[in-house]
Amino acid sequence: MVEFTALDVHKQYTFASVERDGQVVREQKIVHQRGAIRGFLAGREPGSPVAVEATGNWYWVVDEIEAAGCVPRLVHPKKAKLMMGLTNKTDKLDARGLNVLQRNKTLPTVWIPPGELRDQRDLPRTRMVLTRQRTQLKNRLHATLAKYGLAAPQASDIFSPGARGALRGCIRQLPEHSRFAVERELEQIDALSEQVGLFETRIEEVLDKTRAVELLDSLPGVGFTLAVVLALEIGDVERFASAEKLAGYSGTTPRVKASGGKVRFGGLRQDVNRYLKWALVEAANVVCLHQERWANRHVAQLYLRIRGRKGHPKAIGAVARHLAEAAYWMLKKGEAYKEPAWQPVSSTKARARL
């Protein structure tokens, strides 16, 4: 007797369907509350597979499945929909479709990070959200000063303590209501900076001594913060069959369209781990900023070579892919970053191609 269970999870409820030997034996709408899904699964054979799509609230559902003694199978939603090929869409059809894929052994599953790793990921991810909000406020403040022809202080960071006096002098020249708005924005920037600092301290306390972070910190353009993001988002490197698989998962490989003997490469993929992609692209941009100082390093040469032929965006993508593949081998072998063999390309020659 072979039994499969599928859960179609929504915000307020889950529709569950149980199939035994190809026949639906039980279906139920489960209102969300702790213990409800575990109660529904009570009595299932220990180790029975339970399919659940990787929606926004799958964490606790997976915990409930494991608590019931079953094996969660996290499903890639987009791929599952394509493979089901359903014209209509209902909760019942979706749940039954997942069971059909389980029965046919074609269910497109994805890796389930351990509970501790899922918890730790919230630290750098939340920090990322806060820094993005802070950047938006800084850009808005810059724009307000520019609207009234006020030059920001000549400093690398106008929000630093050393430049704060000159910045406030510019703000005092604004009209009454714009000045009020900018002062409130500045208060929010300071509050967000304080919160970001708290997260950075917490991250250092939790992850400062992990071997993965130490290895990834040796990548060009990667500091401690990006190393933490890379380590947590990659997780167990053994789940990737090759460096190319990790590069694809991180969104550093281009879309490919090949037909009639013609091959076209598009932009970087979007249906990927966006946090991992962000970290690799940030590191690639650091390489771009330091290309003169790192002229003899492989990443700088790679950036100049690709930029000369295809432009800046594709060069950033190429560097990000190199870093992704390098991270795979570093974690796989337990070794720090090593400069690969490369053919030198002079900066003058690379710029002449622009």
Render pLDDT for 165-175 as a digit per residue (tens, 0 to 9).
889 999 999 99
CA angle 82, 278, 132 (to 5 degrees): 115
How far apart (Å, rounded) are the C-alpha atoms in residues 15 and 27? 7
On average, the pLDDT of the chain sits at: 90
Under the banding of pLDDT at 50, 70 and 90, the label for residue 346 is low
CA angle 194, 195, 198 (to 5 degrees): 90
Residue 353 has pLDDT above 80, yes or no: no
Per the structure block, which two tokens stand in for 96? 């039954």
Residue 44 has pLDDT above 90, yes or no: no
pLDDT digits (tens, 9 = 90+) for 246-275: 999 999 988 777 777 777 777 777 778 999
- Of 67-71, 188-192, 348-352, which gets the smallest average pLDDT? 348-352
Q: What percent of the chain has pLDDT over 70?
A: 96
Q: Give the mean pLDDT of 28-47.
A: 93
pTM of the model as a whole: 0.83
pLDDT for 1 equals 65
pLDDT digits (tens, 9 = 90+) for 65-90: 999 999 999 999 999 999 998 888 89
pLDDT for 184 equals 96
pLDDT digits (tens, 9 = 90+) for 106-154: 999 999 999 999 999 999 999 999 999 999 999 999 999 999 998 877 7
Q: Give the mean pLDDT of 198-203.
A: 95
Q: How many residues does the chain have?
A: 354
pLDDT digits (tens, 9 = 90+) for 302-316: 999 999 999 999 999
Q: Give the mean pLDDT of 225-252.
A: 95
Residue by residue, DSSP assigns 134-175 as: HHHHHHHHHHHHHHTTPPPPSSS-TTSHHHHHHHHHHHTTS-
pLDDT digits (tens, 9 = 90+) for 201-227: 999 998 877 899 999 999 999 999 999
Under the banding of pLDDT at 50, 70 and 90, the label for residue 344 is low
CA distances from 105 to 6, 72, 73, 83, 98 (A): 14, 15, 12, 12, 10
Q: Give the mean pLDDT of 336-345.
A: 74
**Residue environment code for 287-319, b if the CB has 16+ CB neighbours within 10 A, otherwise e:** bbeebeebeebbbbbbbbbbbbeeeeebbbbbb
Q: Give the mean pLDDT of 187-196.
A: 96
Q: Give the mean pLDDT of 217-238.
A: 95
Q: What percent of the chain has pLDDT over 90?
A: 77
Under the banding of pLDDT at 50, 70 and 90, the label for residue 352 is very low
Q: Give the mean pLDDT of 10-30.
A: 93
